């Protein structure tokens, strides 16, 4: 009987140790799982928390900008040149043209006026141009392209990197003297 008690007591000690071990580590695993669930549900590591950045060329300012999940890019563009400009065309692309920096790689590559390429401009205000006075602004919208015939699209909150160009004439010059310039590079998220 004595040997059985010793065996039984030894088994109980081992069993109690195993139970303590499982409970301690089980609680630790539960705490870690809950912490991970909270972190992932609050999007702490999400690209959606990346700040919106717009790097304009000299003479221009990105007052506000956004891109929709359907690929429409809208920008409130200010200019601080010494003259009034008339924006006759706009383009947006996910890549700059490696062969010609004054043209987008995809989409409206020649920056044709609205009446020649209406598919690139969902906003009909560009049909007659967008006048921007020195120190003034205009709201311009255009499709952003990610391929030769592919409008950029994405899900809400996903990151988007793009480039924006305008074709414009300036006051004091002939209306046939067009300037094509990459106005800005930007990073934002689909909203």
- Give the tens place of pLDDT for each residue, 59-95: 899 999 999 999 888 899 999 888 888 887 888 888 8
Above 70 in pLDDT, residue 152? yes
Report the predicted TM-score, pTM, of the whole model to 2 decimal places: 0.65
Strand pairing category for 85-93 and 159-170: antiparallel
Domain 48-189 top-level CATH class:
mainly beta
Q: How confident is the model at residue 179 (pLDDT cuts 50, 70, 90)?
A: confident
pLDDT of 76: 92
Above 90 in pLDDT, residue 172? no
Residue whose entry in the numeric block shows the structure tokens 């790097």:
55
pLDDT of 30: 92
pLDDT digits (tens, 9 = 90+) for 100-134: 777 777 776 555 544 444 344 444 444 456 788 88
Q: Which long-range contacts (CB under 8 A, 24 or more apart) does 57-62 make?
A: 57/181, 57/182, 57/183, 57/184, 60/183, 60/184, 61/137, 62/184, 62/186
DSSP tag of 40? H
Strand pairing category for 179-189 and 159-170: antiparallel
pLDDT of 64: 92
Break the chain into its structural domains and give their ranges.
2-45, 48-189
Residue 117 exposed, middle or buried by CB count within 10 Å (0-12, 13-18, 19+): middle
């Amino acid at each position: 009987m004595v040997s059985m008690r010793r065996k039984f007591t030894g088994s109980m000690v081992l069993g109690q140790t195993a139970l303590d071990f499982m409970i301690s580590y089980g609680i630790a695993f539960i705490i870690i799982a809950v912490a991970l669930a909270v972190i992932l549900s609050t999007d702490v590591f999400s690209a959606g928390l990346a700040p919106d950045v717009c790097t304009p060329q000299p003479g221009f300012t990105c007052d506000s900008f956004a891109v929709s999940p359907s690929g429409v890019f809208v920008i409130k563009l200010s200019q601080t040149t010494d003259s009034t400009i008339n924006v006759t065309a706009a383009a947006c692309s996910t890549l700059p043209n490696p062969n010609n920096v004054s043209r987008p790689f995809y989409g409206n590559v020649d920056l044709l006026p609205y009446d020649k390429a209406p598919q690139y401009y969902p906003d009909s205000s560009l049909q007659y141009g967008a006048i921007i006075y020195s120190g003034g602004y205009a709201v311009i919208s255009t499709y952003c392209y990610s391929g030769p015939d592919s409008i950029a699209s994405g899900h809400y909150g996903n990151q988007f990197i793009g480039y924006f160009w305008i074709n414009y004439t300036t006051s004091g010059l002939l209306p046939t003297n067009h300037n094509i310039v990459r106005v800005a590079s930007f990073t934002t998220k689909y909203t």
